[in-house]
């Protein structure tokens, strides 16, 4: 199975919308995203999210990651929050999540980011373990928030 990780394109929006809704449902959320807001937020004049997709053969998308800028102005530190990392059922366990994460790291480094953060659902031990294997460190406390400094490559 060949998968190409690339920036989201307009033709991807219907499938991206479907994946966003699937991830929301997985977490017990009720999605309230419409196609025009999605287009504005990922492809607009000033995109709010940096989105990469895992494109399979044909027009099928297997997953996506969405990054949201964050920073500490007083410290001159740039960072990104990995707001989404999603791989469709049936495509999990094939390295797509790792490939999306690697693309996110490269993108963040290219933007001069010092680090990345990510949060998981409190009951998702599998997601927490994935991020820890990828080099994220759990932040203080029991919160399911993790951080990664980009000065060192992931394990």
The pLDDT value recorded for residue 155 is 44
Q: Are strands 115-119 and 77-87 parallel, antiparallel or unpaired?
A: parallel
Containing structural domain, residue 118: 4-149
Q: What is the Cα–Cα distance from 139 to 84, expressed in whole angstroms?
A: 18
In this structure, are residues 65 and 84 in contact, taking their beta carbons and an 8 Å threshold?
A: yes
> Total structural domains in the chain?
1
Residue 141 to residue 42: CA distance in whole angstroms: 33
- Residue 21 is assigned to a structural domain of this protein: yes
**pLDDT of 152 strictly over 80:** no
> What pLDDT does residue 101 have?
95
pLDDT of residue 73: 87
Beta bridge partners of 26: none
The whole-number pLDDT of residue 141 equals: 66
Model-level pTM?
0.90
Higher pLDDT, 67 or 125: 67
Q: Which of 28, 18, 17 is nearest to 121 (CA)?
A: 28
Which pLDDT does position 5 carry in this prediction? 97
> Is residue 62 domain-resident?
yes
Is 155 domain-assigned?
A: no
The CATH number of the domain holding residue 133 is 3.40.630.30
154 domain residue, yes or no: no
Query: Concatenated DSSP letters for 88-117?
Result: -TTSTTSSHHHHHHHHHHHHHHHTT-SEEE
List phi, psi (to 5°) of 4.
-110, 125
Residue 52: inside a domain: yes
Residue 153 has pLDDT above 70, yes or no: no
Per-residue pLDDT of 98-141, as tens digits, reads 999 999 999 999 999 999 999 888 878 888 888 889 889 888 76
């Amino acid at each position: 199975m060949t998968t190409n990780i690339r920036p989201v394109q307009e033709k991807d929006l219907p499938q991206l919308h479907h994946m966003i809704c699937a991830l929301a449902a997985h977490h017990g959320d009720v999605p309230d995203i419409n196609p025009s807001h999605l287009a504005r937020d990922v492809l607009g004049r000033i995109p709010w999210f940096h989105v990469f997709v895992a494109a399979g053969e044909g027009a099928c998308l297997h997953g996506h990651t969405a990054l949201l800028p964050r920073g500490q102005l007083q410290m001159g530190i740039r960072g990104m929050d990995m707001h989404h990392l999603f791989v469709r059922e049936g495509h999990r366990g094939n390295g797509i999540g790792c490939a999306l994460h690697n693309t996110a790291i490269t993108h963040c480094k290219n933007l001069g980011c010092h680090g990345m953060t990510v949060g998981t659902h409190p009951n998702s031990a599998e997601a927490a373990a994935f991020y820890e294997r990828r080099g994220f460190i759990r932040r203080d406390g029991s919160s399911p928030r993790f951080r990664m400094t980009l000065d060192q490559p992931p394990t």
